[in-house]
Amino acid sequence: MGTEIPDVDEEGQKARLSSVSMAIRILKAFSGDDAEIGISELAKRLGIAKSTVHRLVVTLMAEDFLDKNPETGRYRLGLGLFGLGSLVRHRMDLSTEARTLLADLRQETGETVLLAVPAGREIMYIRTLASRQAVRISTEMGMRVPYHCTAAGRAILAFQPENRVATVTTALMPVRTPKTVTDPDRFRKLLANIRRQGYAIEDEESELGMRAIAAPIYDAQSEVVGSVAIAGPVQRLSLRNLNGLAEPLLSTARAISVRLGYRGSLGSGEL
């Protein structure tokens, strides 16, 4: 048997992962008692060479994850982390404020209720309340799904800036079912219709046998930060029945938006 030669790409990947792990350890070294730490102290605590610590610290500073105090020459957590923490807290606030209203909506409609937020090129369900009926739609919390073929995604995307819409419409929109809309021009017309009526419809475009309706949620800055959706099997939710859920859906979306500080007009097309 010959000597196995390590794969160069695999070795490189391991090195990158190791660097990421060490960078995370550096960030975790800071605390309320140790708000500022120098290179030598970080190296001593983590058992890493000072040259390695310095290289990682420079990288973290470039991303605003660390900042150097010019008076002491020591390092502290940067505003980049504050921004990320604010995003997480915002999602937690949305989930908390919506919890009881989502439960009321499920009780009123008898169907599965979902709360979604943007997650890069997709959306993520951050709260799911499954219908108590035997035949129901079940979606796991934390699941990521595309914008283009889901009511929850469309309800968010329709009210985003043009550059965000362009990111989705110029990218490949995968066909999930025979009903999935993938033509960019047709999809943009669909978004325009959502803006007019104030809510989005999904007709077996993400999953055969499922329909959904969703409405946007606004924050205190009048920006759409998420959506609330009602989903169920086609056996119960005809398109007529689905549109009949618009009133309680919009009422819930309004109530959640108000709890987040939204004070805009609540007319058609803007809740």
Cα Rg, the chain, nearest whole Å: 24
Q: Name the DSSP class of 130.
A: -
Question: How is the chain split into domains, by residue range?
Answer: 8-77, 83-259
Contacts 24+ apart (CB under 8 A), 79-83: 81/27
Q: What average pLDDT does the segment 126-132 reach? A: 93
Angle at 37 between CA 34 and CA 38, to 5 degrees: 165
pLDDT at 147: 96
Q: Taking Cα atoms as reference points, which of 191, 205, 201, 269 lies closest to residue 240?
A: 201
Q: Is the dihedral of CA 26, 28, 31, 35 positive or negative?
A: positive
Q: Name the DSSP class of 37.
A: B
Give 134-168 as a DSSP string.
Answer: SS-----TT-EEESTT-HHHHHHHTTS-HHHHHHH
pLDDT at 116: 95
Is the pLDDT reported for residue 135 higher than 90? no
Q: Mean pLDDT over all residues of the chain?
A: 88
Backbone angles phi, psi at 261, to 5 degrees: 100, 5
Residue 31 confidence class, pLDDT cut points 50, 70, 90: confident
Q: Looking up tokens 């604010």, which residue turns up?
A: 86
Is the pLDDT reported for residue 103 higher than 80? yes
Is the pLDDT reported for residue 123 higher than 50? yes
CB 193 within 8 A of CB 235: no
Highest mean pLDDT among 46-50, 61-65, 106-110: 106-110
Is the pLDDT reported for residue 11 higher than 90? no
Q: Tokens in use for 36?
A: 């500022």
Please write the tens of the pLDDT for every residue from 51-101: 999 999 999 999 889 999 999 999 999 888 866 665 565 666 788 889 999
Is the pLDDT reported for residue 6 higher than 70? no
pLDDT at 10: 55
Count Cβ atoms within 10 A of the Cβ of residue 119 and give its class: 0-12 exposed, 13-18 middle, 19 or more buried.
middle
CB 39 within 8 A of CB 26: no
Please write the tens of the pLDDT for every residue from 186-230: 999 999 999 999 999 999 999 999 999 999 999 988 999 999 999
Q: Please state, for a pLDDT cut of 70, what percent of the chain lies above it.
A: 87
Q: Name the DSSP class of 206.
A: S
Amino acid code (one letter) for 75: Y
User: Residues of 199-219 as b/e, b for ≥16 C-beta within 10 angstroms?
Assistant: bbbbbbbbbeebbbbbbbbbb
pLDDT at 8: 45
Residues 6 or more apart whose CB falls under 8 angstroms from that of 27 comprise 60, 65, 66, 77, 81
Residue 3 confidence class, pLDDT cut points 50, 70, 90: very low
What is the reported pTM?
Answer: 0.68
pLDDT at 16: 56
Is the pLDDT reported for residue 42 higher than 70? yes
How far is the C-alpha of 213 from the C-alpha of 197, rounded, in Å? 12
Domain 83-259, CATH: 3.30.450.40
pLDDT at 88: 62
Please write the tens of the pLDDT for every residue from 136-186: 887 888 899 999 999 999 999 999 999 989 999 888 899 999 999 999 999
Domain 8-77, CATH: 1.10.10.10
